[in-house]
Amino acid sequence: MIRALFVAFILCFAAATAAQTPVNAGPYVPSPSSVVSDMLTLAAVGPNDFVIDLGSGDGRIVLTAAKVFGARGFGVEIKDDLVKLSNEAAQKQGVADRVKFMKQDLFKTDVSQATVLTMYLLPNTVNMLSDKLLKELKIGTRIISHDYPLSGWLPERTIEMDLQEKVDISGVTTTIIYLYVVPAMVAGNWNASVPASVAKQAMSIELKQHITRVSGNAKVDGKLVALEGIRLKGDQLRFNLAGRKGIEFTGSVRGNLIEGEVAAAGVKTPWSAKLATGS
Ligand SMILES: C[S@@+](CC[C@H](N)C(=O)[O-])C[C@H]1O[C@@H](n2cnc3c(N)ncnc32)[C@H](O)[C@@H]1O
């Protein structure tokens, strides 16, 4: 009995300790300076941006974002010495009023303030963050991942290059930077109001969604028509109707409403849709 209690105590203690120890999301390996610059350029970082680097190492991404691109931001890092080094560098570089570095577990960091989120982490860590990023980041936030993709997400763009200095890190020269944009949620049934040149009756649209991938169909004057060429970038949706050449829908998603223009035979007319049932 006493032995069983002792084992239970040890197990509870181990679980509690494990719960407090941050998951190691990756060793300290700084992104080469040229990659930092490419990451921030790919995200089109500017003075209105707030950049968050998860696992900020020596702070170089957020420091460059402030110094070269005029942005604000913060980095979180588990290693004390790196946090100290980064804050000292921010002072020296004259950007301490716009950036800061905190000793903090990246998995527990509130990232909702970001307009640009960067990471250079282990492949499995990147994917452990997928749900958190979708839940916390604002629609339209740009996510930049150095070398490892977010599985299930369609990148908006990727840049691939060969860097000799990466051989020591990953064994190969290949370097990839992925740009993703946090999508609006569009899954569900929508009641659309479209011009008569597209449909005589009210049109209904059914959209299915997996992160950034969207597919669907529309009921146009009683006929089921597949949606083709669907693209969702942040809150910007576009699609065509199969078999209806020259008709293109574009629109902005604002919660339960989509508003935009439909181009038919070269003429642009407003259209809108209201969410009837979400999923
Ligand atoms: C590959 S380095 C990237 C450094 C920097 N972002 C860059 O690209 O130069 C990953 C960093 O994440 C830090 N890290 C690992 N796990 C972490 C965690 N759970 N919370 C915060 N930082 C973490 C490591 O200490 C390391 O400095």
- Domain architecture of the chain: domains with CATH: 25-181 (3.40.50.150), 188-278 (2.40.128.20)
**C-alpha distances out from residue 79 to 56, 75, 103, 123, 273, Å:** 10, 12, 7, 20, 49
Any atom of ligand 1 within 6 Å of the Cβ of 22: yes
pLDDT digits (tens, 9 = 90+) for 49-100: 999 999 999 999 999 999 999 999 999 999 999 999 999 999 999 999 999 9
Cα–Cα distance between 54 and 68 in angstroms, integer? 20
Task: State yes or no: pLDDT of 227 exceeds 50.
Answer: yes
Number of the ligand 1 atom closest to the C-alpha atom of 76? 21
Question: Hunting for tokens 């990246």 — which residue is that?
Answer: 106
Q: Which residues contact 1 (CB under 8 A, 6 or more apart)?
A: none
Cα–Cα distance between 226 and 217 in angstroms, integer? 4
Per the model's pLDDT, the better-predicted residue between 14 and 252 turns out to be: 252
Average pLDDT, integer, range 258-279: 92
Any atom of ligand 1 within 6 Å of the Cβ of 30: yes
User: What pLDDT is attached to residue 197?
Assistant: 87
Nearest CA owner, ligand 1 atom 6:
56
In angstroms, what is the span from residue 98 Cα to ligand 1's centroid?
Answer: 21
In angstroms, what is the span from residue 73 Cα to ligand 1's centroid?
Answer: 16
Average pLDDT, integer, range 238-246: 92
Number of the ligand 1 atom closest to the C-alpha atom of 125? 16
pLDDT digits (tens, 9 = 90+) for 7-37: 443 443 444 445 568 899 989 999 999 999 9
DSSP-derived letter for residue 165 is G
Task: State yes or no: pLDDT of 107 exceeds 90.
Answer: yes
Q: What are phi and psi of 34, to 5 degrees?
A: -65, -35
Task: State yes or no: pLDDT of 278 exceeds 60.
Answer: yes
Nearest CA owner, ligand 1 atom 8:
31
Structural contact between residues 63 and 95, judged by C-beta atoms closer than 8 angstroms: yes
Any atom of ligand 1 within 6 Å of the Cβ of 147: no
Q: Which helix (H) or strand (E) holds 82?
A: helix 80-92
Nearest CA owner, ligand 1 atom 11:
55
In angstroms, what is the span from residue 261 Cα to ligand 1's centroid?
Answer: 44
Average pLDDT, integer, range 238-265: 94
Any atom of ligand 1 within 6 Å of the Cβ of 86: no
Summary mean pLDDT of the chain:
92
Any atom of ligand 1 within 6 Å of the Cβ of 32: no
Any atom of ligand 1 within 6 Å of the Cβ of 57: yes
List residues bridging with 268 in a β-sheet: 263
User: What pLDDT is attached to residue 170?
Assistant: 86
Task: State yes or no: pLDDT of 3 exceeds 60.
Answer: no
- Percent of the chain as helix, strand, coil, to the nearest 5: 25, 40, 35
Any atom of ligand 1 within 6 Å of the Cβ of 79: yes
Per the model's pLDDT, the better-predicted residue between 207 and 265 turns out to be: 207
Average pLDDT, integer, range 233-244: 96
Structural contact between residues 80 and 56, judged by C-beta atoms closer than 8 angstroms: no
